[in-house]
Amino acid sequence: MIETRELTKRYDGFTAVDRVSLSVAEGQFAVLLGPSGSGKTTLLRMLNRMVEPTSGTVLVNGQDTAGMQAEALRRSMGYVIQSTGLFPNMTIRRNVATVPRLLGWDRRRTDKRVDEMLELVGLDAKTYGPKRPDELSGGEAQRVGVARALAADPPVLLMDEPFGAVDPITREHLQIEMKRIQRDLRKTVVFVTHDIDEAVLLADSIALLRNGQVQQSGTPEDLWRRPANDFVRDFFGENLGLRIMARHCLSDVELDALPPDDSWHTLPAIVHGATLKEALAELVGTGAERLVVTVDGTPKGTADFASLMRALSAGVQCADGVRTGRGRDA
Amino acid sequence: MPTESARGVGAMPSASRRTVRHWVTVAPLLAATLWMTFDVTGFSALLRTLVPDTPTVLYETRSLPRLMGDQLLLVATASALALVIGGALGGFALTRTGRPFRDIIVNVGNLAQTVPSVAVMALAIPLTGYGAEPVIVALVLYGVLPIILNVIAGIEGVPASAFDAATGVGMSPLQRLISVELPLAWPVILGGIKNMLVINVSAATLGAVVAAGGLGMPILAGFHRYNNAFILEGALPAIALALLIDRLLTPAAGRTRAA
Ligand SMILES: Nc1ncnc2c1ncn2[C@@H]1O[C@H](COP(=O)(O)OP(=O)(O)OP(=O)(O)O)[C@@H](O)[C@H]1O
Ligand SMILES: [Mg+2]
């Protein structure tokens, strides 16, 4: 668990981070969100002591990090920087092997781990391993950045706008993949972004910053239903409701049974991995009152607007592995 | 997650092809230098063609292999010292304590280069006496600047992202220096070493003035005795040596990459 208490950073009179007290539970995906210059990077870098706080404390599993050796602390937290930061003088394999080597792992274990990590982020180790960073596309480089951060299996990952430099489609792939990795490996992630969609899609909890101060922190649903002030409301804008709907899937909806007669045959069908936003679009687009929800092509039940809304209140997010990102039944 | 197709496959010349191209330019210069130094008959025949009607074409006091040996020893000693001193000063200028001195160090290095080398040697003689020492003092003074400048430029040119990532993954400052900063700065530092060596090879010919030996001896004798063949005997190998060092330390065309 990571906790900050009254954490503050000042640069000659200018306060970049102002008395931030947050806590991130183990296995949680926490997002630091805010406009440019709001102090996100500074706050993140105080967690692994890349920036020394002016005042306040950072606790990791209850231990004050000020008393720890900075290098050891950093090796226990994977770090993905804004611009991927791959070492241009090393091959992809060597890049991914960096922390295991620093930790003195033997060669066999390191090699095996590098293969696993490259596979985890969807890169073929044989093809990509011997390449140099400047031979990769932006998306590939960012995957390698994630693989490197995960290589020594740190319990915590710090990520600073890791998917900033890629096109929207690749970005969405990387986001969904990141969420899967975080859940599968039960990592505690602190993720910096200024992209609202990205934050709402990934976060278990969001801390919204402005001028170094936390305006509000909580689940995206909290921030949507109970914004603490006008800044929070305005920052998320009018589409937050729809964005929140994109967090939830039909698999979380309690379906109504299929009517015994054949009347449902005329209803539009949708896969259970579709998001509620996609389901809503389907309702609005077809003008139907209900949708038939299918699992592997078999109709399982129906859902209407009210049942979508109930799932939204329940607060569950798409159960593991069913989010398709694309809703229509093939 | 679909993998994007690999780009740039085969776009870069392979390492071995670059090595071959590198040696193709180096080998003739190496051959020329060795030939002039060791093939007495051949080289004197060349000098005789270039400067006909000269009774003696080869300087009698010292043979070419010995002159070349003097020259190399002067250059090697001075360059090694300049490398250590320049590296230390450049490195110091990059540390937290040294940062305030950065500009002073660079300016002093610049200043050292503006003093004529003959003057440096003359000034050094009361301290060191005649011979190799005053030349080495002058060459070190000259060689230190390109090293300082390129160490600073090379390390400061390391991308902030690589530096940051190295710190972020938990490297100690020394680990970061060895596995990230020096490899990335190496092409620039190598450029400084090359500049220093080329400057020193030609400057070392002045050593003859203070009786340090070297390829300057026949040149000096040529001046006194109006013998152009002597001048060429010293100058041609010195030029070949300078070109050889230049080519040897210039990576072959294509992207420069630290190994
Ligand atoms: N080393 C520094 N010296 C002085 N001011 C700094 C320093 N680092 C950051 N700042 C200032 O602190 C503020 C917060 O910077 P920070 O990098 O944390 O913002 P950010 O939220 O990450 O912004 P972005 O989204 O643009 O990356 C900025 O106004 C910045 O200018
Ligand atoms: Mg930032």
Distance from CA of B70 to the nearest CA of A (A): 38
Residue type at position A269: A
Least CB–CB distance from A87: residue in B4, B8, B162: B162
Q: Which residues of B touch A (CB under 8 A)?
A: 1-4, 6-8, 12, 159, 161-162, 164-172, 175, 179-180, 183-184, 257-259
Mutate to test the interface with A, among B96, B158, B169 (most CBs of A within 10 A): B169
**A 130-189 residues inside an 8 A Cβ radius of B:** 131-132, 135-137, 139-140, 143, 148-149, 158, 170, 173-174, 177
Which residues does ligand 1 sit against, CB inside 6 Å? Answer: A 11, 16, 34, 36-42, 194
Task: Please tell me the predicted confidence (pLDDT) of residue A33.
Answer: 96
Q: In this predicted structure, what is the pLDDT of residue A124? A: 94
* Ligand 2 centroid from CA B201, angstroms: 50
The pLDDT, as a whole number, for residue A260 is 86
Ligand 1 center–CA A40 separation, angstroms: 8
**In 3D, which of A187, A210, A252, A235 has the Cα closest to residue A25?**
A187
Indicate yes or no: CB of B6 within 8 angstroms of CB of A139: no
Give me the interface pTM, i.e. the ipTM.
0.80
Inform me whether the pLDDT recorded for A181 exceeds 90.
Answer: no
Domains and CATH numbers, chain A: 2-245 (3.40.50.300), 250-314 (3.10.580.10)
B110 against A76, higher pLDDT: A76
State the pLDDT at residue B141: 87
User: Among A151-160, B6-15, B225-234, which stretch is predicted with the lowest mean pLDDT?
Assistant: B6-15
More confident residue, B98 or A15: A15
What does the pLDDT read at residue A327?
Answer: 40
Contacts of B7 in chain A (CB under 8 A): 135-137
* Closest residue to B170, CB basis, from A74, A88, A122: A74
Rounded distance between C-alpha atoms, residue A205 and residue B27, angstroms: 65
Tell me the average pLDDT across A212-227: 93
**A278-328 tens-digit pLDDT:** 999 999 999 999 999 998 888 989 999 998 888 887 766 676 545 554 443
> Domain-by-domain residue ranges, chain B?
22-258
Please determine, looking at this structure, whether the domain spanning B22-258 carries the CATH number 1.10.3720.10: yes
A-B interface: how many C-beta pairs under 8 angstroms? 87
- Whether residues A87 and B6 touch (CB distance < 8 A) is answered with no
Share of chain A above pLDDT 70, in %: 95
Average pLDDT over residues B91-120: 85
**Which contiguous run of DSSP H or E holds residue B93?**
helix B64-94
Backbone angles phi, psi at B203, to 5 degrees: -65, -30
Question: With an 8 Å Cβ cutoff, are B167 and A74 in contact?
Answer: yes
Comparing B179 with A261, which gets the higher pLDDT? B179
Strand A269-271 to A290-295 pairing = parallel
Shortest CA distance from B162: residue in chain A: A85
CA distance B212 to B130: 7
C-alpha B244 – ligand 1 centre gap (Å): 50
**CA of B256 vs chain A CAs: smallest distance (Å):** 11
- The partner residue sitting opposite A85, judged by closest CB among B161, B183, B184, is B161
pLDDT more than 90, % of chain B: 44
CA angle B107, B109, B110 (to 5 degrees): 65
Owner of token pair 């870098």: A45
Half-sphere exposure of A320 (CA within 13 A, CB side): 7
Residues of A in contact with B1 (CB under 8 A): 121-122, 143, 173-174, 177
* A137: chain B residues, CB-CB within 8 Å: 4, 7
pLDDT in tens, A104-143: 999 999 999 999 999 988 899 999 999 999 999 888 998 9
- pLDDT of B245: 92
Query: Which of A11, A36, A83, A211 best tests ligand 1's pocket when mutated (most atoms within 8 Å of CB)?
Result: A11
Closest Cα to atom 17 of ligand 1: A41
Mean pLDDT of chain B: 85
Contacts of A170 in chain B (CB under 8 A): 4
* Mean pLDDT of the A183-195 span: 92
As a whole number of angstroms, the distance between CA B251 and CA B36 comes to 25
* Residue with CA nearest ligand 1 atom 27: A36
CB A156 within 8 A of CB A187: yes
More confident residue, A168 or B171: B171
Greater confidence, B110 or A236? A236
What does the pLDDT read at residue A322? 52
Q: Which of B3, B8, B167 sits opposite A124 (nearest CB)?
A: B3
Residue of A nearest to B160 (CA): A85
Q: pLDDT tens for residues B110-137?
A: 888 788 878 888 888 888 888 888 889 8
pLDDT tens-digit readout, B143-154: 898 899 999 999
pLDDT of B10 strictly over 50: no
In the predicted model, what is the mean pLDDT of residues B67-91?
93
- Grouping H, G, I as helix, E, B as strand and the rest as coil, residue A300 is strand
**What CA–CA distance (Å, rounded) separates A209 from A20?**
9
Q: What is the pLDDT of residue A196?
A: 92
Cα(A41) to centroid(ligand 2), Å: 4
Q: What is the pLDDT of residue B13?
A: 54
Alpha-carbon distances of B45 from A277, B33, B48, B57, B232, rounded to whole Å: 91, 16, 5, 9, 13
Query: A56: helix, coil or strand?
Result: strand
Give the separation between CA B52 and CA A308, rounded to whole angstroms: 104
Residue nearest to atom 22 of ligand 1 (CA): A41
Question: What residues in B contact A102, CB-CB < 8 Å?
Answer: 169-171, 175
Residue range B20-49: average pLDDT? 90
Which residue's CA lies nearest to atom 10 of ligand 1? A16
